[in-house]
């Protein structure tokens, strides 16, 4: 990410609340950033979810809305799903992740795990190196591009998840990230799963939920 890039939150606009989730647009010095917050009963631990190069809020196999539904109730963990202001513009997307950190700090949260899919895996890895507020990183079907800083994540735990049938980004991408990362690091390969891991949605959720219960 260009070290000269910066972003500051100047306000927020609260939108509709549906099934315990609230649409919140963060007003920033680089434009509006859409988010969906699933708050726990009390602020404390949180999860930040970022998507692939096309943006969106759902993540692989609709993982993110399910985390938003389950984590606050079952684990007392808030979930913030982050849309991008400028999808596929890497530096801007890292700034969006950092804006999410600022928002969570401002709402009384103490720490966060960041989860990213595909392009978002590299976004999550970069954001994880920039602030101690992020205590762990989960990169799902991650690209290598932009993730060269993975060795700087330690001592934050890193979880890499990849399907062995991924035809968009081969699972060797996560294997390479694993080799470049330092401990603590974990690699989970899911046999027969593609880039979006729809074939293994339940297994994906179980892996991530278990990780969050221990790392968030």
Whole-number mean pLDDT of the chain? Answer: 97
What is the per-residue pLDDT for 215? Answer: 79
Q: How do beta strands 21-28 and 78-82 pair?
A: unpaired
Domain regions of the chain by residue span: 9-215
Report helix, strand or coil for 61.
Answer: helix
Residue range 98-143, pLDDT digits in tens: 999 999 999 999 999 999 999 999 999 999 999 999 999 999 999 9
Give me the residues paired with residue 22 across strands. Answer: 17, 37
| Superfamily of the domain at 9-215 | Alpha/Beta hydrolase fold, catalytic domain (3.40.50.1820)
Residue range 16-55, pLDDT digits in tens: 898 899 999 999 999 999 999 999 999 999 999 999 999 9
Element (H, E) at 53: none
Q: Residues 66-70: what's their mean pLDDT?
A: 98
- Cα→Cα distances 32→4, 6, 26, 83, 130, Å: 20, 14, 6, 10, 22
């Amino acid at each position: 990410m260009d070290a000269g890039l910066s972003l500051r939150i100047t306000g927020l606009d609260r939108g509709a609340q549906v099934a315990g989730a609230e649409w919140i647009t963060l007003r920033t010095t680089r434009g509006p950033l859409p988010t969906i917050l699933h708050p726990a009963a009390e602020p404390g631990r949180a999860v930040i979810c970022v998507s692939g190069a096309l943006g969106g809020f759902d993540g692989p196999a609709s993982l993110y809305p399910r985390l938003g539904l389950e984590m606050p109730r079952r684990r007392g963990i808030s979930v913030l799903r982050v849309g991008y202001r400028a999808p596929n513009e890497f530096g801007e997307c890292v700034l969006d992740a950092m804006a999410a950190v600022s928002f969570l700090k401002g709402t009384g949260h103490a720490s966060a795990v960041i989860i990213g899919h595909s392009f978002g895996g590299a976004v999550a890895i970069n954001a994880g190196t920039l602030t101690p507020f992020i205590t762990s990183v989960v990169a799902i079907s991650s690209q290598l591009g932009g993730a060269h800083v993975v060795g700087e994540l330690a001592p934050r735990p890193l979880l890499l998840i990849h399907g062995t049938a991924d035809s968009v980004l081969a699972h060797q991408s996560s294997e390479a990230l694993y080799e470049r990362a330092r401990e603590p690091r974990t690699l989970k390969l899911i046999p027969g799963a593609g880039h979006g891991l729809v074939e293994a949605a339940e297994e994906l959720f179980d892996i991530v939920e278990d990780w969050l219960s221990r790392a968030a």
